[in-house]
Amino acid sequence: MLDTITSYNPGLNVRVANHQLVPVVATVTVTVFVIGRRVTITAGVRRVSKVRVPMKLSNVYVVPQIAARLFSCRWGFNRDNMGTSG
């Protein structure tokens, strides 16, 4: 879900697999929903259930020439304070 358009035509390019540069037409903030886990303990019984969790991503590049949705783990960890649990 698109939250905010932060800039139009930011003057950026991304390099694709064939080494061509394609233009970024906008940068945006979006909210995507991922499946998370909720652990509850009632009367000594541990239960794990799946929950739908919103994840807000900042500085997302809009590149119409790239059909697939790509995610930078480094950006998510460093910029949006994402992490792993295990």
| pLDDT, greater one: 80 or 10 | 10
**For the ranges 1-5, 29-33, 37-41, 69-73, which has the lowest average pLDDT?**
69-73
- Report the b/e string of 8-42 with b at 16+ CB within 10 A: eeeeeeeeeeeeeeeebebbbeeeeeeeeeeeeee
Residue 86's pLDDT is what? 55
Tell me the HSE value of 84 on the side-chain side, using a 13 A CA sphere. 3
Q: Does the predicted model carry a pTM greater than 0.85? A: no
The model's pLDDT over 15-68, given as tens digits with 9 standing for 90+, comes to: 888 999 999 999 999 998 988 888 999 999 999 999 998 888 888 899 999 888
Residue 63's pLDDT is what? 92
Two tokens at 80?
A: 């949006």
How far from 52 is each of 13, 37, 65, CA to CA, in Å?
33, 8, 30
Sorted by where each begins, the domain ranges of the chain are 2-79
